[in-house]
Structure 1
C-alpha cells in the first residue's frame, strides 16, 4: 500500500485550512487542484467525494473528507507534530469539544445567518446551536480564557476554529471582537500558516495570469 498523501483542493476553498494543517505536521504531499464545476463533478473525483466538493485526502488507501475530520486525522497520523493532546490527557476532551464546536454549531449558525435563515425562538431547541449570539458568546469565552483551547498549547482545534474566525471576520460573517482578534493574531503568524497562505495565494495568482 502506498504511503503517498494526495491532497485535493481549490485555493479558494476550505482546503486552505487543510493546507495549513499539512504544513504544520510537516507531511510530504501531492496536491491535486480541482476547478469548481465540471472537474469536481467528474466521475473520477466523485469516487473520492460523492458530494463533489473539496477538500479531500487520500492516504495509505484511506479517503478522508470534511475539513475537521481531515485535521483530526492528520493530527493522529503525524503525532510527532504534537497537534492533538494524548488520548489519556485531560486536555483531549477540550480538544474534541472545540474542534467539533467549530465544525457544528459555529459553521451552522454562521451559514444560516449568511443565508438569512432565522430560527424562531420557540424552535431553537431543534437546531444544534440555539442562536448565533449564543454561539459567538461561547466562542468568545473560550478564546479569552487561555492562550490556546486545549491544554495551553496550540492544537488542530485552534487551527480549525481559528481559521473560521479569520475567514468570518475577514468577510463580515462573524463580528469582530477584541478577544477574537487577539486569538487569531497568535495563530496567523505561525510559520506553517504563513507558508500555507503563500502557497495558495501563489496558485491563485498563477491561475489568474493564465
Structure 2
C-alpha cells in the first residue's frame, strides 16, 4: 500500500468511522477537511464524490465512498492489519453479512424512525427491513451470542457495526439494550478509536487567533 492515501472528511460526520478504520490500519494518510454546503459541494470535491458528502478516501487513483465500503476496502488493501478474515475463511460470511446488514436494514430503519416514518401494518415486505423491531431483534440476537462478529476477533465489521450502534444509542434512535452496550464497551477500549477521536475532537475546537 505504497500509494498515497487521503481521507476527505468532516469531524461531525460518518468520516469518524473512516478515520477510526485508518487508525486501525496504521498507514500514513492525509486529511482534507470539507465543510457542509460549501467545499463539500464544490466542483473539485464533486469530481471525487458526486453526492457531495463525506467520507471518501483516495488511494492512489482509486476512490472509495460510503463508510462500509471504505472499511471493507481498507481491510483488504492492508491484510497485515488483520481486520478481515482471509478469503476462504468461513468467518468471511458473518463479516460481510452484518457489515452490510448495518449499511442496509439498520441504516434505513434508523433513518425512517428519526424522520417519524412508521411502516404501515401489512406493508413490511415493501420496506425491505420489515420493521424497526425486527432489525434490532436480529442484531441483538447476534451480539448476545458472540463477543466479535467474525471468527472471535475484532474486525472491520465490528468497527462499522459498533460505530453505527453507538451513534444510534447516543442520539436516542436506538434503544440501549444490554447486548448493545456490552458490545460497544468492548470496542470503545480500542487504542485506535482513542487516537481517531482525539484527532476529530481537536478539529471541532476553534483555534485561537
Tell me the TM-score normalized by structure 1: 0.97
Aligned residue runs from structure 1 range 25-36, under 5 A: 25-36=25-36
- Give the C-alpha shift of residue 205 in structure 1: 1.0
Tell me the C-alpha RMSD between the 2 structures: 1.1
Matches within 5 A, 1:147-162: 147-162=147-162
Task: Give 2:24's aligned residue.
Answer: 24
Which residue is 2:53 aligned to?
53
Alignment partners' CA distance in 2, 1:60 and 1:99:
25
Q: Distance in 1 between matches of 2:68 and 2:118?
A: 26
Q: How does 1:172-183 map to 2 (within 5 A)?
A: 172-183=172-183
May I ask how many residue pairs the two structures share in their alignment?
A: 208
Identify the residue that residue 196 of structure 2 maps to in structure 1.
196
* Misfit runs of 4+, over 3 Å: none
Taking the aligned partners of 1:206 and 1:27, their CA distance within structure 2 comes to: 27
Structure 1 SS opposite 2:22: helix
1: CA distance, partners of 2:54 / 2:6: 12
Structure 2: any 5+ residue segments left out of the alignment?
none
In the TM superposition, what is the alpha-carbon distance from 1:76 to its structure 2 partner?
0.3
Between structures 1 and 2, the one with greater helix share: 1
Structure 2 partner of 1:187: 187
- Quick one: distance in 1 between partners of 2:68 and 2:137? 21
Q: Distance in 2 between matches of 1:60 and 1:43?
A: 20
Query: What aligned pairs does 1:161-172 form with structure 2 within 5 A after superposition?
Result: 161-172=161-172
C-alpha offsets along residues 92-126 of structure 1, whole Å, 9 cap, x if unaligned?
A: 00000000001000110001000011111211101
